[in-house]
């Protein structure tokens, strides 16, 4: 089953949120409706990047990898170029 890595940007504080899901539209609605505990206080969000993967496991692995960098510069580059280089 296909899955997505996604990056949201908070319109409240300009911070990014990185996640993975099998249903991108539904997940964005959950974030913006306050159903996600972690993002409830920083909504609304706009989707600034998404990439489809063959499996949820693969999307989660990339999510964890991006989060481990703890670098806004890397995320800014992904968003501005709309490209995810897996050899980061």
pLDDT band at 87 (very low <50, low <70, confident <90, very high): low
Q: Enumerate domains of the chain plus CATH numbers.
A: 3-81 (3.40.1440.10)
Q: How many CB atoms lie within 10 A of CB 28?
A: 19
The helix-helix angle for 72-81 and 56-69 (nearest 10°) equals 130
pTM for the whole structure: 0.93
Q: Which of 29, 22, 27 is nearest to 57 (CA)?
A: 22
> Which tens digit of pLDDT belongs to each residue from 48-85?
999 999 999 999 999 999 999 888 999 999 999 999 98
């Amino acid at each position: 089953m296909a899955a997505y890595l996604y990056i949201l940007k908070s319109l409240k504080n300009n911070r990014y949120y990185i996640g993975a899901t099998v249903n991108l539209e539904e997940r964005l609605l959950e974030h913006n409706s306050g159903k996600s505990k972690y993002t409830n206080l920083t909504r609304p969000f706009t989707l600034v990047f998404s990439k489809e993967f063959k499996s949820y496991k693969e999307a989660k692995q990339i999510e964890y990898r991006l989060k481990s960098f703890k670098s806004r510069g890397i995320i800014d580059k992904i968003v501005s170029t709309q490209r995810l280089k897996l050899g980061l």
